[in-house]
Each structure stands twice: as structure tokens, then as C-alpha cells.
Structure 1
Amino acid sequence: MKKFIKIALFWAFLLSSLSASGYVNAVKVPGNVAHLTPESKAWLSASFSEVTLYPQTALKFFDKTANEMNANNKAKKVKIKALYDGSNLAFLIQWNDATKSVQTKESTTVYGDGFAFQFPQNYSDAKELPYIGMGSAKRAVIVHLAKATEGVYEPNGEADVYHQVNKGNQNLYNEELKAYEQAVAQKMQKQYQRDFISEGFRSMTQIRDNANQAFMQMSYKDGFWRGVLSRTLKDTYLDLSKGAFPVAIAVWDGEKKNRDGLKLLSSWIPVKLVGISGGDKLIEDLTTPVSGDVANGEKLAVENCAACHHYKDQKIAPDFMAPNLSNIGGYATKEYIKESIENPNAVVVPGYNIKAHPNSAWYSLDEQGQRVSTMPAYDWMDEKSKNDLVAFFSSMKEEE
């Protein structure tokens, strides 16, 4: 018995120490994790890892009230755990929220709290991961999204119109009406969950072919949300069985009118499948601190970037001209920042509606219809200067 306790304490210490190493350990457990709930005892097998989320400020949201409510948003720490059983993978996320916000069907101005997990379809090279904002051209992501909503009936693919009709318009009374209401309650969705594939803004497409099996659930208690995502390790769209993979996380606060791009999000976080070899290079690339002279990088940014981009106290550029870089270090990897400096065409963020801001187009189209960034390439810079710029912009992020 003493030997068992010592072994258990050793593994508990090991897992807790690993959880602070910059990546998340997914622990293999017996049984099936495909339908775990936030209260499942299986979660006791893993330790929490802290992940920091940052306000999305690259693009300004088109809602004056919501922008005012979120103007002073700070970074936020969430806790996550991960388990797998050999066929399925499950995440538990926990974050504090003073208010429980539930989206109702009676209002279009009430928004629900929510969370999402995002996975890159191809993560063979950490230097070429998709853009954190819903992917990028030829770099697709899979997004699992859950929101706190009232039960709502939606078309179910069975051509069932009858149960969508308001009960007041049904020619039913007494027991027949009660039976109708019960049937609607059984068919309605108790909670909003959607799975998407995306290659950037305006390209998100819901996955409806059942080739992507995922389950999500949310519960609120004592000022905390706890959410679960369970999905297969490998399916038609995604293979997460290679030892390690990246994940990005986002949360929405409905009380502050969060929805769409108005959210807090993380950078790409590596997840290690404990017991499966592989993925060491990915973890190393995503967790190795950036090296460079931050002070010199700031000087170079003023000389080369401030004419178009807003960041920190630099506001001389016209609004909407280019992405705001105030939190770029919070949700962009150092590899992405460097790639954007050397080759802006590699990932082109679409930006605002070009008809609303015709003088602030972020890209043009070439003869093949491919997006070409309006930002010039800075591949002419020497390596030290580029690294210094990366170091500076990696430091650009809100405090907690």
C-alpha cells in the first residue's frame, strides 16, 4: 500500500510539474471519454494547466456599445485538463465569470457566454500554422463552438416543419397540445454546439456530414463556467494522434455583448499525448522563448511599422488601415510574426469590409484571384533586426 501511495504521489508531482512547462498533458485513462461531463470523476486523473487568453484587438468590432464595454479588457487565465482513451480526446476548461449569461430566443441583443477549441488541420511545421483567427487560405482549422442558450428548436435535416410551428398556431388543445409541447421539447437542442472548418474570415462552414464526432457541454456554478469538449482523435477532417498537436482556446462574455470576433483568445498551445511518442519538435518550437533585443525592436517598429499599424502608444496611422498589433504577442506565435515580416502574402488577414473602407484595403487580388497583401515584404532586413522586431511584438500583450 505504501509503495502504491509513493507511486501515485510521484505521478501527481510529475503531472503537476509538467502542467507548468508551457504545454498541456493529455493523460491516457481506461474507459471511454467520448461523453464526459464537467462533473465526471475521470477528470481527477489529470492536473489543470493555466492558459492565458488575450483580448482580440486586431480588428475593431462594429458595435459602439460593445466596444465601450470591452475597451479596458485585460488578459484572463483559464484552466484546462485533457484526457484520452486511445480513440477519443476530451478537454475540460474552467474560467471565472461573475455573471451567467444565456442567449434567449426572445431577444436579438442578449448574448450567451461561450467557449471554443480550435485545431489546425496541418501542424507538421510550427512555422506554418494557420492564422489564429479562424485559419487562413490553404491552412484550414477545425473549430468546436459551444454557447449558453435556452433550448431552441431548429431544422433537423428530416424535413420536419410541423414541430417548428408556434404552439399558438397549432389546432391543438388540452392533452394534444401537451403532447405536442413534449415532442418539441424532446427534439429541441438544449445547448448550442457547432463544428466548423475554416480557412479565415468569412469562410467558416458548418460540418454537417457526421464525419466529425464531437460532444460539448457547459455548466455554471459559484461564479465559474466549466466546459467540456470530447471528440475523436482521428477522423476525416483531423488527425490528433501524432504524439502532440496545437490547440487554441477562446471564451466569450455575454454580459459584455461578446460575440463573433469580440472575445478573449489564446495563442497556439501544444498538447502532449502522454505515452505516445512524437511531437517533441512541435512542443519545442511553440514553447522556446523568443530571443532578441526588445528595445531595438521597438525602435525598428516605430521606423517601419507605426505608419500603418496601431500598437501600444503608437496611433499616428489612420484607423482601419492595418491590423492593430496591441495584443499580437498574446495570441500570435513568434513564427507567425516573423513570417508576416518576411512574407506578408503567406497569411493575408481579410480585414474590414472593403466597401465600407475603400481607402483601407488590406489586400488586392492578382490575376489568379489570390489575395496579395498591401504590406510590403521586409525580407531585406538583416536577421538580427527581424529577430528584434519579433521580440518586441511578442511583448505586445495586455496584463492581467
Structure 2
Amino acid sequence: MRRVITFTAALSLAAVTAMAGNVVTAVKVKSLKNLQCGAKLVRKHAKFVPVTLYPQTTVKLNDKKALELNKDAKAKVAEVAAFTDGKNVAIIMRWPDKSKDVYKGYESDSYPDGFAVQFAADASNPQKLPYIGMGSDGRPVEIFIRKAYGQGVYEPNGNGDVAHQVNEHNTNYFGKGLKKFKKEVKKLGVLPYQRAFVSEGFRSMTEIKDGSVNYRTDMHYVNKKGGMWGGMVVKPLKDAYAAPSKNELAVAVAAWDGKELQRDGLKRLSSWIAVKLPGAKNKALEAVVTEKAKGDVANGKKEFETNCASCHRDRNFQNAPLYMAPGLENIGGQTTAAYIRESILDPNAVVVPGYNRNAHPNFAWYTVDDKGNRTSTMPPFNYLDKKVVEDIVAYLQTQKAEVAK
């Protein structure tokens, strides 16, 4: 427990060191069977690395309260570690959250805390990693999601069982009969929400239900006094949807805060993390996830205003019509320099999520042909001088929310 308390007390320091780069070294262990995120093995041997999670809004919700709560959301520093037994990998994360919000099946206006771990299906070409959160055409991702679980709550399961949907106060049971009824309800209660998905771009996210991936998750408070969640995903190193490349995995993590009414695309999200397995010697992925563009930030700001600010909003320029183009307020915290560079030179390489239904119809982010192919309405800026592009990339890497103290 000492390790956990130390992390909580040192959040300010972690916020600084988190900028050093997202590189996690997986620790080799004999077995991952029955491992939990708060186990002694984790506390004693895990090599945790601070990773910053930045606010993300994929689609603006029609929820005034949620939008107000997240209007000026700050980033949070989590910490991430990994274990492997040679056949499986465990990704473990811990993040601060003083409000413990759990799933309550009898409420429709509250949301649980949760986390997600995302794997790039193929990281062999780190310069072309998938779009964070949903993957992109030709660049799929495998995603595991877990939500905080409270008490068992019975819900209809399609079996025609209505007897256990009755509130216990409306039954004819009492004494031992009521205890028996409550046990039956608990047995049929909602299991912890854990799901696996595969996604290859916006609107393609599909739950894996055929048993083709064997995984398990864990989530519980690992430091009640400090207010910190622990979460873990254990999966095969190689399955039908993702596999290591040169003993490395490209991983991203996310967290939802129920108190802030976060759900779906409203969350905090990291950039790509290089998880190095035993024997990893290649530096390509590590170089991409830690790259800091060498351009001139001050000049990049000027060039952004000239070439980009008429369509895109960021933290300095808010003149473009709302939703005319994807917001760039946190692009520096959720993407790599390589992704930003590619987006400037070849916008069609990754057509980002949209079109937002709350946006003006004149501001469609892409066009769709008869075959369903999307073409970005942003023209390629490959005519810009190479130095100008690097300056803009360096500037955009500064666009990210402050870290909460």
C-alpha cells in the first residue's frame, strides 16, 4: 500500500515527469492467473509510469449539465504498468478519483466510473498508428472497457422471467422467504460491465461476442483514503485482433468520471504508449510516442493562425465557427507528432469522427461517395514548406489542458 500512497502524494511531480514519454516496460512473471490490480505482486514489482489523460469529447452530448461539468475539464495523471507471462499480457492502470461512482441499474441519470485499454492491431509502422479511441480505416484497434460495479441489480434477460423484476417490497415474501428471494435476485443480478470491441474507424465499433478473445478485467479502489481507482485488463499477447510487433505493443488508456457525468465519447484519454515486452530492442515505436517536434513553436502559432485557424479552433484561436472542423484543444496530449504531421499533409489518411449532429449542416467534415468511402473536406497542405509544417506540429503539441493539481 505504501507504493499507492506515494503516488497519490506525488501527483504534482508526476504531472511534470509524465511529459518525459509514454514508455512502459512489461515485467516478466510466472503466471497472470488470478492477478488483481491491487495484488501484492503489483505493489512490489510493477514498474509504473506516469501517463497523462486529457479531456476528450467525441460527440457533443445533448446533456446541458454534463457539458457544463466538462466545459473546462483538466487533465489527470494516471500511472500505467504491465506484466507478461510470455503468453498473456496484463495492462494495469491507476488514476485519481475521489468520488466513487458505481453502476446502479435502478437509476437512469447517473453514470459509473470506468476505464478502457486500447491495443493497436498492428504497430509495425509506428508512423501510422490508428486514430486514438476508435481506430481508422485499415488501422484497427482492439478495445476493452470496464465500468465500476456496485450491487447486483436484476434486469430482463430475454428469458421471460418477470417474477424477479418485482421490487422486494411488492412481493408477498417475508422472513426466510424474502431472504431466499433476494438471493435469487442477486444470483440473476447484473454482472460487472466488461466488454471487448474491435473498431476500424467511426461508426465501426463492434462488440466481440463470439468468444474469439479470452480476457478478464478487474477494477476496484486501491487507495480509499487517497481516492484512487485501480483497473486491469489481462489478454493473450496475440489473438485474432491484435498482436505485438518486434516485442512491442502500442497501447492507450482512458478513464470515465461518473461524477462529471462522463460516458461514451466524453472521457479522458491518453496518447499512445509503447509497452516493451522482454526482448524488445527496436526503438521505432518508442521514438514515435516520445517524439517532440523540433519546430519553432512561436512561428508555428503564426502559421496556424494563417493556415488553420479559419476552420479549426484550439486554445488560442476561437474565431472559427463552432464545429466547422474538429477541435484541436487537446491534440497535443492525445496524439503523436507523426499523426499531426500526417493530418496536415494527407487529411484523407485518417478521416476523424464526425460529422457531429449538433453542428451546422454547411460544415460537413467529409463527403461520402456511393460506395460509402469518406473523403475529408480539408485539402492537403503538402505544398507548405517542410519547416513550416514542423513549426505547426511543434505548436499543436502544446495544445492540451492543464493537469489538475
Is 1:289 matched with 2:286?
A: no
| 1:1-400 equivalences in 2 (<5 Å) | 22-30=22-30, 32-43=31-42, 44-57=44-57, 59-150=59-150, 151-153=152-154, 160-162=159-161, 165-167=164-166, 173=173, 178-179=179-180, 181-220=182-221, 221-222=224-225, 223-240=227-244, 242-273=246-277, 275-354=278-357, 357-400=360-403
Q: Structure 1 length as normaliser, TM-score?
A: 0.88
Inter-partner Cα distance in structure 1 for 2:27 and 2:148: 28
Inter-partner Cα distance in structure 2 for 1:79 and 1:104: 27
Q: Is the 8 A contact 1:29 1:45 kept in 2?
A: no
Alignment partner of 1:282: what SS? helix
Q: Is the 8 A contact 1:245 1:279 kept in 2?
A: no
1:268-291 per-residue CA deviation (whole Å, 9 max, x = no partner) reads 011111x22354221122223221
Inter-partner Cα distance in structure 2 for 1:131 and 1:364: 19
The 1:177/1:202 distance shift into structure 2, 3 A limit, reads: farther
Q: Structure 2 length as normaliser, TM-score?
A: 0.87
1:127-163 per-residue CA deviation (whole Å, 9 max, x = no partner) reads 111111311122111111111133244677xx64437
CA positional deviation for 1:57: 4.7
Q: Is the 8 A contact 1:102 1:113 kept in 2?
A: yes
Alignment partner of 2:235: what SS? strand
Q: Is the 8 A contact 1:35 1:215 kept in 2?
A: no
Inter-partner Cα distance in structure 2 for 1:355 and 1:388: 32
Structure 2: segments with no counterpart, 5+ residues: 1-16
Q: Is the 8 A contact 2:57 2:267 kept in 1?
A: no
CA positional deviation for 1:367: 4.3
Partner of 1:8: none
CA positional deviation for 1:87: 1.1
Inter-partner Cα distance in structure 2 for 1:168 and 1:51: 44
Q: Is the 8 A contact 1:58 1:327 kept in 2?
A: no
CA positional deviation for 1:172: 7.9
Partner of 2:8: none
The 1:106/1:187 distance shift into structure 2, 3 A limit, reads: closer
Structure 1 stretch displaced more, 355-364 or 176-185: 176-185
Match of 1:136, as an amino acid? S
Alignment partner of 1:379: what SS? coil
Alignment partner of 2:389: what SS? helix
1:154-183 per-residue CA deviation (whole Å, 9 max, x = no partner) reads 677xx6443784145999856666545434
Inter-partner Cα distance in structure 1 for 2:215 and 2:402: 34
Inter-partner Cα distance in structure 2 for 1:330 and 1:295: 18
1:58-78 per-residue CA deviation (whole Å, 9 max, x = no partner) reads 654432211111122112110
Q: Is the 8 A contact 2:216 2:233 kept in 1?
A: yes
Q: Across the two proteins, how many residue pairs are aligned to each other?
A: 380
The 1:291/1:59 distance shift into structure 2, 3 A limit, reads: farther
Match of 2:240, as an amino acid? T
Alignment partner of 2:348: what SS? coil
The 1:253/1:305 distance shift into structure 2, 3 A limit, reads: same
The 1:350/1:20 distance shift into structure 2, 3 A limit, reads: closer
- What is the CA RMSD across the aligned residues, in angstroms? 2.6
The 1:68/1:168 distance shift into structure 2, 3 A limit, reads: closer
Inter-partner Cα distance in structure 2 for 1:354 and 1:325: 18
Inter-partner Cα distance in structure 2 for 1:164 and 1:201: 40
Match of 1:217, as an amino acid? D
Partner of 1:10: none
The 1:205/1:22 distance shift into structure 2, 3 A limit, reads: closer
Inter-partner Cα distance in structure 2 for 1:243 and 1:107: 44
Alignment partner of 1:323: what SS? coil
Inter-partner Cα distance in structure 1 for 2:32 and 2:396: 39
Alignment partner of 1:212: what SS? coil
1:244-302 per-residue CA deviation (whole Å, 9 max, x = no partner) reads 111111111100111111111110011111x2235422112222322111111111100
The 1:358/1:280 distance shift into structure 2, 3 A limit, reads: same
CA positional deviation for 1:398: 1.4
Inter-partner Cα distance in structure 1 for 2:387 and 2:121: 32
Q: Is the 8 A contact 1:80 1:92 kept in 2?
A: yes
The 1:237/1:106 distance shift into structure 2, 3 A limit, reads: same
Structure 1: segments with no counterpart, 5+ residues: 1-16
The 1:213/1:102 distance shift into structure 2, 3 A limit, reads: same
